[in-house]
Amino acid sequence: MSIFEAGMLICFGASWPFQVAKTYRTKDVKSRSRSFMWIVELGYICGMIHKIFYNYDAVFYLYLLDFLLVATDLSLNYYYLYKNKKACKI
C-alpha cells in the first residue's frame, strides 16, 4: 500500500462531502461541470480496476468511497437540473 496514494484519496475525498452538502443546500447546479465530475468518476474507476487486477489492498476502499461521494453529488446535480428545468416550464 502506498501511503501517498492513500493520502491523495483522503484529501480528495475530504472535499466531496462539503460539495454534496452545498449542492443539497443551495440546489444550484447551473455553474457545475457535470463533464468534470464524469471524468473524475472515470479516474476512480480506473484506480479501482488497477487495484483489483494488480495491487489489491485497503486503498481500494478509498477509491470506492470517493467514487460514491462523487456519484452522490452527480445524482443530486442531475436531479436538481431536471427539477429546475421542469419548474421553468410551468
Query: Consecutive 10-residue runs of the chain (90 residues): their mean pLDDT?
Result: 90 91 89 91 96 94 96 95 76
Q: 11 in a domain, yes or no?
A: no
Burial track 55-89 (b if 16+ CB lie within 10 A, e otherwise): eeeebbebbeebbebbebbbebbeebeeeeeeeee
Contact 23, 68 (CB under 8 A): no
pLDDT of the residue at 28: 85
pTM of the model: 0.87
Q: 74 in a domain, yes or no?
A: yes
Q: 54 in a domain, yes or no?
A: yes
Q: Which domain holds residue 82?
A: 34-90
How many distinct structural domains can be found in the chain?
Answer: 1
Q: 14 in a domain, yes or no?
A: no
pLDDT of the residue at 17: 93
pLDDT of the residue at 90: 56
pLDDT of the residue at 80: 92
Q: 60 in a domain, yes or no?
A: yes
